[in-house]
Structure 1
Amino acid sequence: MNEKETIEAALFAAGGTLDAQTLGKIIGKPANKAVTIVETLMKEYSERGSGIEIIDLGQRYVMQVKPMLTDLVRPVAPKELSAPMLRTLAMIAYHQPVVQSDLVDMRGNTVYDHIRELINRGLIVSVPYGRTKKLQTTPLFADYFGLSSNDPEAIKQKIIELSHQQSGDKGLNKWLGYKLVAFTPMYQSLAILCGIEDYKVINAYDPTEEEIEELADVSKLVISRGYLEKVSRYYDGEIIEVSSTTFDDIIQAVEALENVGNKQKTEFTLSNLRDLKEKYVSKALLIDKKVKPATDMISRIVSDLRLGVSAEGVVIAPDYDLTSNGVQVGEGADILVPTHGSVETDLIERVCRKYDAIIDGLKALEKTSSD
């Protein structure tokens, strides 16, 4: 095969851009030689009125359908599998026949959409199995990935072989999507509280291109409540929204991660959180002063501590001046509650500081009143 045919085949197979240096390496010649060959191909494609064209993007080249024909051929063009869907397919292929409910437990509820799409594409079949279903690959799966057989054991060995070429057994677990959890920076300490060893920390609210690629390896993503719509633009896996205002918030967050955490560590953390809450409630029982929460966040803490509320009570506000709606809250408050601690701070410590600020502040005011 000559050099021109080799470069033409490379551009066709790439399905994206190839730079001159890469093309030169393929034919074993300098980059400028590859450029000359590509320019010849571009001229030939243009002169023969082909429906395919080669575009120069500044010594980066791509072979594509001409724009005027794109809409006409789109119905017959194969759609690429998204990274999360590909991992779902890999798990089905590796474990087949796999029970659908087990797959959902491992990958999250978004798997249902993946299964539906994979069935529509003919890559897997679904067979009734009691109250759920079993899933397995089809001969089209083998054709799609260039495998000689759709034999389950042969497919499994091929997956193991590919994984070992990349990063060994740990890489296999990650590639197959074994409950890899990611946390936004503020909630990293949840991983420790739940005994989760294999996890990522990703800024999912405004991710870089690299972080978006990392999100593709994640089966569950833990974010702050209220950011679901924003994060969904970058991530289509299972999203767990959590808060960290009260002990109950953290308890709910830990419970949401029970099935991916260490059982003993999770149980210890939940017991510790419930004990801490009761200790703070006991401290608050000794306080007679009524309070007036300035925001919903403060109201939740006050309610958790079972403090008395009054319109003439001690004004308690967060330590910022304005809410997101532009309402001024902090000025003139009797007690300010810390809210903007370092994101590295343990979640339990953050909650304790809020509760301590309220209880210590009320005790100080009571002492002043009695003096």
Structure 2
Amino acid sequence: MQEVRLATKVEAILYLKGQPLSLAEIAEYAHCDLSQVQEAIIELMSDYAHRDSALEVVETPKGYSLQLRTCFEHLMTHLVPAELGTGALRTLAAIALKTPILQTDLINLRGSSAYQQVQELVELGFVRKRRQSEGRSYWLEVTDKFHQYFEIDQLSQLQD
């Protein structure tokens, strides 16, 4: 197996966490020391600065973050419903692609924060919960509102 550059590993960590992380947090996830993480962050910031990318690595008061460049924020208002955060959108996407999915399977896939996200998605009318006939979990599936809101006729379009 090919050795992965630390900067690439840091990029994956920032993407997967989806929130600003301190150097110490990144070092813990990457299993390396702070000076290595600092070098990797500088390398990553330089990589993004020199390529034509919609993303950038920035330092925020809470830490380092992989985010959409500000010049593309206008797309957010047209493509992403304002009332849904990134985590809820990822949870909704998982439900849409695997519908119906057991809530326990979704939690294994997305983590415990998905409980709150599912509740939010149910309240917004994008997801329906049905009690399992045998067992304690719920079946989760997208609703007609999901299809109308995202203008998707069939989920097979998502998988093409």
Q: TM-score, normalised by structure 1?
A: 0.24
Q: Does 1:76 align with 2:57?
A: no
Q: 1:77 to 1:28 in 2, by over 3 A?
A: same
Q: Which residue of 1 aligns with 2:58?
A: 55
Shift of 1:77: 3.1
Quick one: distance in 1 between partners of 2:49 and 2:28?
A: 26
Q: Does 1:14 align with 2:17?
A: yes
Q: 1:154 to 1:43 in 2, by over 3 A?
A: farther
Q: 1:66 to 1:114 in 2, by over 3 A?
A: closer
8 Å CA contact 1:35, 1:59 repeated in 2: no
Q: Does 1:65 align with 2:68?
A: yes
Q: Which residue of 1 aligns with 2:46?
A: 43
Q: Does 1:156 align with 2:159?
A: no
Q: How many aligned positions are there?
A: 103
Shift of 1:152: 6.7
8 Å CA contact 2:20, 2:62 repeated in 1: no
Unmatched 5+ stretches in structure 1:
82-92, 95-110, 125-134, 138-150, 158-371
Could you tell me which amino acid in structure 2 is paired with residue 77 of structure 1?
V
- Give runs of aligned pairs for residues 110-189 of structure 1, distance below 5 A: 115-117=122-124, 119=125, 121=126, 123-124=127-128, 135-136=129-130, 156=137
Quick one: distance in 2 between partners of 1:75 and 1:63?
A: 21
Say which SS state the counterpart of residue 53 (structure 2) adopts. Answer: coil
Deviations 1:7-29 (A, max 9, x none): 11110111110110111112221
- Give runs of aligned pairs for residues 1-371 of structure 1, distance below 5 A: 1-57=4-60, 60-77=63-80, 79-80=84-85, 81=88, 115-117=122-124, 119=125, 121=126, 123-124=127-128, 135-136=129-130, 156=137
Shift of 1:154: 6.7
Q: 1:152 to 1:37 in 2, by over 3 A?
A: farther
Say which SS state the counterpart of residue 18 (structure 1) adopts. Answer: coil
8 Å CA contact 1:4, 1:37 repeated in 2: yes
Could you tell me which amino acid in structure 1 is paired with residue 36 of structure 2?
K
Could you tell me which amino acid in structure 2 is paired with residue 156 of structure 1?
S
Deviations 1:92-139 (A, max 9, x none): x69xxxxxxxxxxxxxxxx9x97451x2x2x21xxxxxxxxxx528xx
Shift of 1:39: 0.9
Could you tell me which amino acid in structure 1 is paired with residue 45 of structure 2?
M
8 Å CA contact 1:20, 1:32 repeated in 2: no
Q: Which residue of 2 aligns with 1:261?
A: none
Quick one: distance in 1 between partners of 2:41 and 2:33?
A: 13
CA RMSD of aligned residues (A): 3.3
Could you tell me which amino acid in structure 1 is paired with residue 73 of structure 2?
T
Quick one: distance in 2 between partners of 1:65 and 1:17?
A: 13
Q: 1:153 to 1:12 in 2, by over 3 A?
A: farther
Shift of 1:68: 1.6
Higher relative contact order (CA 8 A, sep 6+): 2
8 Å CA contact 1:8, 1:41 repeated in 2: yes
Could you tell me which amino acid in structure 2 is paired with residue 13 of structure 1?
L
Quick one: distance in 1 between partners of 2:133 and 2:74?
A: 38
8 Å CA contact 1:46, 1:53 repeated in 2: yes
Could you tell me which amino acid in structure 1 is paired with residue 35 of structure 2?
N
Shift of 1:153: 5.4
Deviations 1:149-168 (A, max 9, x none): xx6757729xxxxxxxxxxx
8 Å CA contact 2:20, 2:64 repeated in 1: yes
Unmatched 5+ stretches in structure 2:
89-102, 105-118, 139-160
Shift of 1:38: 0.8
8 Å CA contact 1:52, 1:66 repeated in 2: yes
Shift of 1:57: 2.7
Quick one: distance in 2 between partners of 1:14 and 1:7?
A: 11
